[in-house]
Every structure is written in C-alpha cells, then in structure tokens.
Chain A
Amino acid sequence: MRYIIAIIQPDRLDEVLQILEEKEIHLVTVSNVLGRGRQKGISEVYRGHKEGGRLLRKVKLEIAVNEEFVQATVDAIIKGARTNHIGDGKIFVLDMKECFRIRTGETGKIAIG
C-alpha cells in the first residue's frame, strides 16, 4: 500500500482528475495549499503575476493506492499536470503502514478501494 501526494498547478486539477477517472482511480482528496519549491516562490513568467508572501497557490492531491495502481496514478498525474513550465509541481510516493475503513472496520488492501 502506498500513499501518493502530488502538488500541482491549480489550473491543471480538472485535467488530472479527468485522466485519473479514465484510469478508474476515483479515490482522491484535494486541498488548496500555498507553498514554494525550487523557484523560491517567484511565480512563473507566463502567468505574469506575483503573489504576496512569496508563496504560490497550488493544489494538493492525496491518493491511497494498492501497489498495482501506483504507476498508473503517477503517470496520470504527470500527464495531466505537465506544462513544461517551472512550477508544474511534484509527486511524492510514501509507504503506507495501515488503512482502516471507518464504517466496517475492514483493514489493509481491501479497505483502500
């Protein structure tokens, strides 16, 4: 079991979600976040806009998947989020120790999907 965290450009969210859905990955948690990466919060030129506080708006996706879905998920996010501009974001893949479904108390692989 893996836990995938992706930080992407807000305007790529629709695209990413659509591609995830096509690959039958429906479970996702999305939040608005602020952050900065290697470009130190200086916004990309093509948006022509500097945001205050040196932090940029991003969208964070969190997806828990079983092993066999890891590559498909990562590929989908890259395909949807890549614009070849600085600031396209990152994907982190973490090991996940355990997973519980609150309603039934099920655990492990079955509880994810």
Chain B
Amino acid sequence: MRQIRKYLWAGAVFLMFLGLSKTVWAATSVIPDISGGDTAWVLVSAALVFLMTPGLAFFYGGLVRKKNMLSILMQCFILICIITLQWILFGYSLSFGPDVKGWIGNLSWAGLQHVGLDPFAGYSATIPHQLFMIYQCMFAIITPGLILGAFAERMKFSAFCVFSLLWATLVYDPVCHWMWGNGGFLKAMGALDFAGGVVVHINAGIAALVCALVLGKRRGYPDHMSPPHNLPFAVLGAGLLWFGWFGFNGGSALGANRLAVSAMVVSHISGAAAGLTWALLEWKFNSKPTMLGMITGAVAGLATITPAAGFVGPISAIWIGILASLVCFFCVAVIKAKFNYDDSLDAFGVHGVGGILGTLATGLWATKAVNPAGNNGLFFGNPGLFLIQLKATVITIVYSFIVTWVLLKLVNAFMGLRVSDNEERIGLDLTQHRESGYTMLD
C-alpha cells in the first residue's frame, strides 16, 4: 500500500511539472496561420472516429449473450478513458514524437509538451498540432477495442485493463510510429497505409488471433452456444461504424480537400460492394442472406479499403470490396471452423484478414492519378510497391503476434487472464461489474 502511494505521489508531481513546462512554452510561441476549412473537417472527423468506439461496443455487444452485454460496453468505454490518458501522457509522444532510429518516438512530447495549437508542418501544416494529436488519439482508442471481439465473454476485467494499456504502449505506439511517425522505418521504406490498414487493422487483427489462441475457447463452444442476444444492436453499431468510417478514412486526408472526398467516396463504395457480396455469398451457400452477414461484409469492406482509401479510384474500390467479402467470408466460414479456434466476434477474420488484404490491394490498385503523394501499384505499372506492401504486412504480423503473445503470458502469470468456470457460466456482467444489462419485470 505504501509503495502504491509513493507511485501515486510521484505521478502527481510529474503531472504538475508537465503542466508548468507547457504554460511556459505556450507563452513564447508565434502563431502561424491555420486553415479554417481543414480544421473544421478534422475536428468533425475526430468526433466521427470517436463515435466508432461506442458503435463498436454495440456491434460487439449485440453479438454476445445477454449476460455479457455490459462487459462489452464497459470494456469499450473504459478504453476511451485509459487510452486517452495514455495518449496524452506518453502514447502520442512514442508514436509521433521525434524519431529514435526509425523504431519509436522519444518522450520529448510527453504530456503534450511542444504539442500546442500551432500547426506542426511535419504532419499537417494547416491544422493545429493538438487537433492532429486528438484525431490520432481516437485511432489509438478503437484499435485495442477491435481486439476485444476475440476474447469476449471470458476475460477478467482487471486483466483486460492491464493488457490493453500494455498493448497500446508496446504494440500500437511502435507500429504507429513505423508507419506514420516522421522517420518511421516503414514510412521511409515507402509503404502506404492511408488510414490504418497496417497500424489499426492488421495490428489489432493479429493480436485478436493470438488472444483467441492463448485464452482458449468459451465454455460450450462451438456446439452449445446461444445465438447473438440482440442483432438490432449489432446493426445499430454497424451503422455507427460505417458513419464514423467517413471520418476515419476521409479525415485521414487531414484537410477539407479533394483527397478527403476521394477517400470518403471509395470507402463508401467498398463498404457497399462488400455488404452486397457477403449477402450474395450467403444466399448461394447458406440458402438465405442474413442481416448479420450483410453488416459483417460491410465492415470487412470498410476495413479492407482503409489502407487504400487515399490511393485508389472508385472502380478499384468495387473490386476491393468484392474481394474483401470473398476472402473474409472464406476465413470466417471455413478456416475458423476448420482450425476450431474461438475468435468469438471475428475480430481476426474481419479486421485482420481485411487489413492484410487491403494493404496488399493498395500495392495492386494504388495510382498517382488519385494521390500524387502516393505511388502506382502493380496494375498501374509498378510491381515494386506490391513487394513493399507485402514486406510491411509481414513485419507487422510478426511483431504484433510475438509481442501480443508475450504480453498475454506476462499478464496471465501476474493476475490470470480468464475468469473462473463458474464466473463464465454466470456471466461477466454480474461477476465483473455487479450489474445486469436487462431486467425481467418492467
């Protein structure tokens, strides 16, 4: 107890110091111009991406059993709190701060030192640096959120909080720096990731697969499982995700400009093409198209177009969407059943596979006609890009796989990852939060 109090004091003193140093810095700065239009769009985009986390909470929440509904909502919402503070205190600095050998940012931007209301031209010359920071914060929040679909209904809440904080710091922040941070080695290599195919979807998807493998199956999986408890909630969540994705991909242009429009248009197209494709696949192979299948397809299409959004044209987006559903459908329906792992809400099957597919698709369909700052892909005469994309994909898969595995084993050794059999049977809402999502009488 005394030990803990000592740490708390040290933390409080650190915070006070941070506050002071920032005020001094702000008083001595000169204010360059910002663009009102760009700032307005990225402000709105940050809010749109924020909304994706509650959206994801309902998407996942609707798919679990009644007794675990609140645990999903709680996990998503506590991430908003934990990761936001992590991001402000040191996460942003590790991800985007001054480069250390291409691997990670240093801590000189910790506590938002040097992250003020003036633009930082290295990332975005026309919007305040703090706006770029908070926009990126929303990505850092939703990424560990995606993972929780893999271990839904069986992970201890305390272990979840510790794991998520460690994962954000040791997996998300470095990979984010490699891809998007100035000096990051994937960026220097010429790898393209417009809005998070590598950083968000591959990263979280692979971590999800590792979680499903390490935590093991839920009791009764796969033969004795109740169906999703509230599909309308899942559909509501998918709607919010789709809506938020316009900020996720459109906002990644970091301005109100042609590129933002192009990114939003192709994202929407891919989501639509993928949703339709999934429904048709089910119609053909499972006799009827389902609501859950359709929204799963749409999310797969949106995840897959994410890395490609700022680099491809509208017709390419249709192909990317169709391909997304074909491959993800195969993974969810065939591969998962065959290998018999319990990726409960298909975080790997949709986001991991979609992210890999989209990152490789960027190497095929990217064209400088859409974004002169990008590159041409294989179909536009440059096979080199495909190889770079492949390399970035493999590196991220290997890193995320190994570090996630180590973190899970570590957390397991200290506090245990999984709830007891009995707690799992009663449900996480009652055992982890002492609450019920629903009452039986009015």
A residues neighboring B (CB under 8 Å): 10-12, 14, 18, 32, 34, 47-49, 51-53, 55, 57
Would A14 and B220 count as touching, CB distance under 8 A? yes
**CB within 8 Å of A: which B126-169 residues:** none
B1 at the interface (CB under 8 A from A): no
Would B426 and A11 count as touching, CB distance under 8 A? yes
Residues in chain B near residue A47, CB distance under 8 A: 426, 430-431
- Our pick among A12, A18, A49, A55 for the contact of B430 (Cβ within 8 Å) is A49
B residues neighboring A (CB under 8 Å): 219-220, 224, 422, 425-427, 430-431, 434, 436, 439-441
Q: How far is the CA of A14 from the CA of B219 in the complex (A)?
A: 10
Residues in chain A near residue B220, CB distance under 8 A: 14
Would B224 and A18 count as touching, CB distance under 8 A? yes
The answer to whether A34 and B441 touch (CB under 8 A), given A14-B220, A14-B224, A48-B434, is yes
Residues in chain A near residue B431, CB distance under 8 A: 47
The answer to whether A34 and B440 touch (CB under 8 A), given A11-B425, A18-B224, is yes
Q: How far is the CA of A10 from the CA of B441 in the complex (A)?
A: 16
- Our pick among B425, B434, B440 for the contact of A14 (Cβ within 8 Å) is B425
Q: How many A-B residue pairs have CB under 8 A?
A: 25
Q: How far is the CA of A11 from the CA of B220 in the complex (A)?
A: 13
Residues in chain B near residue A34, CB distance under 8 A: 440-441
| Residue in A closest to B425 when the chains form the complex, CB atoms | A11
The answer to whether A32 and B425 touch (CB under 8 A), given A14-B224, A48-B434, A49-B430, is no
| Residue in B closest to A34 when the chains form the complex, CB atoms | B440
- 8 more CB-based (< 8 A) A-B contacts, given A11-B426, A18-B224: A10-B426, A11-B422, A12-B425, A34-B440, A47-B430, A52-B439, A55-B441, A57-B440
Residues in chain A near residue B436, CB distance under 8 A: 51
Residues in chain A near residue B426, CB distance under 8 A: 10-11, 47
Q: How far is the CA of A12 from the CA of B425 in the complex (A)?
A: 8
Residues in chain A near residue B430, CB distance under 8 A: 47, 49
| Distance (whole angstroms) from the CB of B217 to the closest CB of chain A | 14
Residues in chain B near residue A49, CB distance under 8 A: 430, 434
Q: How far is the CA of A12 from the CA of B422 in the complex (A)?
A: 10
| Residue in A closest to B427 when the chains form the complex, CB atoms | A11
Residues in chain B near residue A55, CB distance under 8 A: 441
Q: How far is the CA of A57 from the CA of B427 in the complex (A)?
A: 13
Interface centre among A32, A48, A49, A55 (most CB of B within 10 A): A49
Q: How far is the CA of A92 from the CA of B159 in the complex (A)?
A: 43
Q: List the 9 shortest-distance A-B pairs measured between CB atoms, nearest first.
A: A11-B425, A11-B426, A49-B434, A34-B440, A49-B430, A14-B224, A14-B220, A32-B440, A47-B430
| Residue in B closest to A18 when the chains form the complex, CB atoms | B224
Q: How far is the CA of A34 from the CA of B439 in the complex (A)?
A: 10
Q: How far is the CA of A34 from the CA of B277 in the complex (A)?
A: 45
Residues in chain A near residue B441, CB distance under 8 A: 34, 53, 55
| Residue in A closest to B224 when the chains form the complex, CB atoms | A14
| Residue in A closest to B440 when the chains form the complex, CB atoms | A34
| Distance (whole angstroms) from the CB of A75 to the closest CB of chain B | 21
